[in-house]
């Protein structure tokens, strides 16, 4: 099922033509009317007329997260304040927050993108969607809310927290789909077990729309087996608008609607554009954004482009699962480690539950990484030897996969912190 078949299944050449026309109109307008873009393009010695085909986009300068901070709050907005109909704010971990403004048109294509995405995973007006992303300054709640309403589904705007009540409502109303972070769904499952709620027996939940943080295929398997749902990856960032892009039923990459966003993947060191299939840093150009345009914005998420046509019939390019951000990378004794690699390794071990925490310390001149790992309730034993054997086995797997020595600290089920929004899985005590 398609929401907008004409555009979603448009022949690739036609789509590229459309993308070029939109890109050129955007650049012409920004160069003529916006001091920031004009200055940046002049510094790089590029004029709008140098952009003669889609690939020429690589001649344009990059935009960085630091630009958003330097021009905070509204320095990069290109429409009068009276045209702004909403703000969202992304907190960020360092420095100033990022403020994003939306015109009515911006809200429109955001909902359109989500309507296409939700339709592609089988959501219709017959569904009842519990939106358990945070409502408010975060884009998750309101984003999913508008998208779900666009397809005519019934929205239960739960937000985060009050988990027992959320589970009661899920049961009573016959909720069929939930949208939240993977870590919140796992937390919900723990509470459900305590309440004696069995998702398969007591609820109608069949779809989970999970994102806003990195999660692995192993975690997907775990969630699906535990709850009997089909879990889909959803991606987006506040700078782009908010949650927008999902996998389709094929679950072979996240579809990127080509009329809304143009994607490139670059080598973060050399800044060269990489061919499809090679992992690097995502660079996005929003082709319809009005209030706050983004041209070649280095979003820092790590992924790769999938160029082969999808079995679902959509012609849009796709991106592979986001494995993290280039600035999430931990360097432990000179070796690069991504938290998603730790999760991937843990999820292969049958005794391991769904919670872990990575702790990095510096002992003298040496980095030291400890991974606290919660076990499944049935896997925890009072027998010291069994636990030592399991600890050694996990440490061995970590060493094999990550190439560094890791100290594993086994924890009883229910003892590590749970998260209602985005999970925090790393404590780096080396950071001053
Ligand atoms: O997290 C928007 C969102 C809300 C996406 C609900 C999906 C669902 P920000 O707070 O600006 O926006 O954070 C964006 O989160 O750059 C990624 O690093 C990470 N992220 C988002 N979705 C995924 C995902 C929202 N599916 C940042 N997989 C992004 C991995 C993700 N990382």
CB atoms within 10 A of CB 308: 11
Task: Give the strand pairing for 177-180 and 207-211.
Answer: parallel
Name the closest-CA residue to atom 27, ligand 1: 237
Q: CA nearest 335: which of 424, 398, 423?
A: 398
Give the C-alpha separation, 79 to 4, whole Å.
Answer: 28
Residues comprising the chain, all counted = 432
Atom nearest to 321 CA in ligand 1? 28
Residue 112 domain boundaries: 1-326
- Cα separation, 177 vs 160, whole angstroms: 15
Q: Within this chain, do residues 113 and 3 fall inside the same structural domain, yes or no?
A: yes
237 and 382 together in one domain:
no
Q: What's the pLDDT score for residue 340?
A: 92
Question: What is the CA(363)–ligand 1 centre distance, in A?
Answer: 33
Residue from 129, 235, 282 to probe ligand 1 pocket by mutation (most atoms less than 8 Å from CB): 235
Residues 321 and 344 grouped into a single domain: no
Mean pLDDT across 159-181: 97
Report CA(213)–ligand 1 centroid distance (Å).
5
Q: Are residues 230 and 353 in the same domain?
A: no
- Name the token pair of 68: 């958003």
Q: Give pLDDT tens digits for 396-412.
A: 999 999 999 999 999 99
Mean pLDDT of the residues in the chain: 95
CA distance 320 to 318: 7
Nearest C-alpha neighbor of 131 from the set 85, 89, 87, 185: 185
Residue 242: CB within 6 Å of ligand 1? yes
Residue 117, token pair as written in the block: 């995405």
pLDDT in tens, 299-342: 999 999 999 999 999 999 999 999 998 888 899 988 899 999 99
Q: List residues bridging with 330 in a β-sheet.
A: 337
Order of all β-strands in the sheet with 261-266? 261-266, 280-286, 297-303
Domain co-membership, 51 together with 199: yes
Residues 251 and 344 in one domain: no
Rg of the chain on CA atoms, in Å: 22
Ligand 1 centroid from CA 238, angstroms: 8
- Both 221 and 88 in one domain: the answer is yes
Query: For residues 294 and 69, what is the distance between their CA atoms, to the nearest angstrom?
Result: 14
202-222 mean pLDDT: 96
User: Is residue 48 within 8 Å of residue 306, measured between CB atoms?
Assistant: no
Average pLDDT for 198-226: 96
Here the CATH number for the domain that contains residue 99 is: 3.40.50.12780
The pLDDT tens digits of the residues spanning 59-79 come to 999 999 999 989 999 999 999
The CB of 253 under 6 Å from ligand 1? The reply is: no
What per-residue confidence (pLDDT) applies to 423? 92
pLDDT for the residue 317: 93
Examine the domain organization and report whether 279 and 295 are in the same domain.
yes
Q: Do residues 254 and 340 share a domain? A: no
d(CA 237, ligand 1 centre) in Å: 5
With beta carbons less than 8 A apart as the criterion, state whether 412 and 380 touch: yes
Shortest CA distance to 99 belongs to which of 109, 84, 110? 84
Residue 265 clears pLDDT 60, i.e. is over it: yes
Specify the number of domains making up the chain: 2
Q: What CATH number has the domain bearing residue 351?
A: 3.30.300.30
pLDDT of residue 97: 84
Q: Are residues 313 and 348 in the same domain?
A: no
Whether pLDDT at 80 is above 80: yes
Q: Does the beta carbon of 322 sit less than 6 angstroms from any atom of ligand 1?
A: yes
Q: What is the pLDDT of residues 81-111, one digit of tens each?
A: 999 999 999 876 556 788 999 999 999 999 9
- The pLDDT value recorded for residue 93 is 54
Cβ neighbors of 21 (< 8 A, separation 6 or more) are none
Residues 296 and 375 in one domain: no
Q: Residue 125: pLDDT band by 50, 70, 90 thresholds? A: very high
- Ligand 1 center from residue 352 Cα (angstroms): 25
Strand, coil or helix: what is 419? coil
Residue nearest ligand 1's atom 4 by CA: 140
Q: How far is CA 215 from CA 48, 134, 136, in A?
A: 40, 18, 24
Query: Which of 301, 326, 351 lies at the terminal end of a domain, its last residue?
Result: 326
Domain boundary among the residues 257, 292, 326 is at 326
The predicted pLDDT at position 249 comes to 98
- Whether 74 is in the pocket of ligand 1, judged by its Cβ within 6 Å, is no
The answer to whether residues 419 and 384 belong to one domain is yes
CA neighbours closer than 13 Å in the CB half-sphere of residue 110: 27
What pLDDT is attached to residue 94?
56
Q: What is the pLDDT of residues 361-391, one digit of tens each?
A: 998 878 999 999 999 999 999 999 999 999 9
The predicted model scores a pTM of: 0.94
Taking 80 as the threshold, does the pLDDT of residue 432 lie above it?
A: no
pLDDT tens readout for residues 137-155:
999 999 999 999 999 999 9
Q: Running DSSP on this structure, what letter comes out for residue 285?
A: E
- pLDDT (mean) for 174-184: 96
**What integer pLDDT is reported at residue 366 of this predicted model?**
85
What atom of ligand 1 comes closest to residue 209's alpha carbon? 8
Domain final position from 268, 297, 326: 326
Task: Establish whether residue 147 lines the binding site of ligand 1, counting it when its CB lies within 6 angstroms of any ligand atom.
Answer: no
The arithmetic mean of pLDDT across residues 45-52, rounded, is 98
From atom 1 of ligand 1, which residue's Cα is the shortest distance away? 212
Ligand 1: nearest atom to the Cα of 98: 11
Residue 64 confidence (pLDDT):
95
């Amino acid at each position: 099922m398609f929401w907008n078949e004409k555009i979603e299944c448009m022949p690739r050449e036609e789509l590229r033509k459309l993308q070029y026309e939109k890109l050129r109109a955007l650049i012409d307008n920004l160069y003529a009317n916006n001091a920031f873009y004009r200055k940046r393009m002049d510094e790089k010695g590029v004029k709008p007329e140098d952009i003669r085909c889609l690939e020429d986009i690589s001649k344009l300068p990059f935009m960085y997260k630091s630009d958003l901070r330097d021009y905070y709050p509204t320095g990069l907005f290109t429409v009068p304040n009276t045209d702004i109909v909403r703000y969202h704010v992304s907190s960020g971990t360092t420095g100033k927050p990022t403020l994003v403004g939306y015109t009515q048109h911006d809200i429109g294509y955001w909902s359109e993108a989500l309507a296409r995405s939700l339709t592609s995973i089988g959501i219709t007006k017959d569904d009842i969607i519990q939106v358990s992303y945070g409502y408010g300054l975060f884009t998750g709640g309101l984003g999913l809310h508008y998208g779900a309403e666009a397809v005519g589904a019934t929205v239960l705007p739960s937000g985060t927290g009050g988990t027992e009540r959320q589970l009661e409502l899920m049961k009573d109303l016959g909720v069929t789909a939930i949208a939240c972070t993977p870590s919140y769904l796992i937390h919900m499952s723990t509470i459900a077990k305590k309440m004696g709620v069995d998702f398969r027996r007591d609820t109608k939940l069949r779809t989970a729309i999970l994102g806003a943080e990195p999660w692995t295929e192993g975690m997907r398997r775990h969630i699906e087996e535990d709850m009997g749902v089909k879990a889909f990856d959803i991606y987006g960032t506040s700078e782009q608008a908010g949650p927008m892009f999902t996998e389709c039923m094929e679950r072979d990459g996240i579809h990127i609607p080509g009329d809304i966003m143009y994607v490139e993947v670059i080598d973060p060191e050399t800044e060269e554009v990489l061919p499809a299939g090679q992992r690097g840093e995502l660079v996005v150009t929003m082709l319809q954004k009005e209030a706050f345009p983004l041209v070649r914005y280095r979003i820092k998420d790590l992924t790769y482009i999938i160029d082969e046509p999808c079995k679902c019939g959509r012609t849009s390019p796709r991106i592979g699962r986001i494995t993290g951000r280039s600035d999430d990378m931990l360097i432990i004794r000179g070796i690069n480690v991504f938290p998603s690699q730790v999760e991937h390794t843990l999820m292969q071990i049958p005794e391991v539950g769904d919670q872990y925490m990575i702790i990095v310390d510096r002992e003298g001149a040496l980095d030291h990484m400890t991974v606290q790992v919660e076990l499944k309730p049935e896997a925890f034993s009072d027998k010291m030897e069994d636990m030592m054997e399991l600890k050694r086995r996990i440490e061995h797997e970590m060493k094999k996969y990550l190439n560094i020595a890791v100290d594993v600290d086994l924890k009883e089920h229910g003892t590590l912190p749970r998260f209602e929004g985005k999970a925090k899985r790393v404590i780096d005590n080396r950071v001053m």
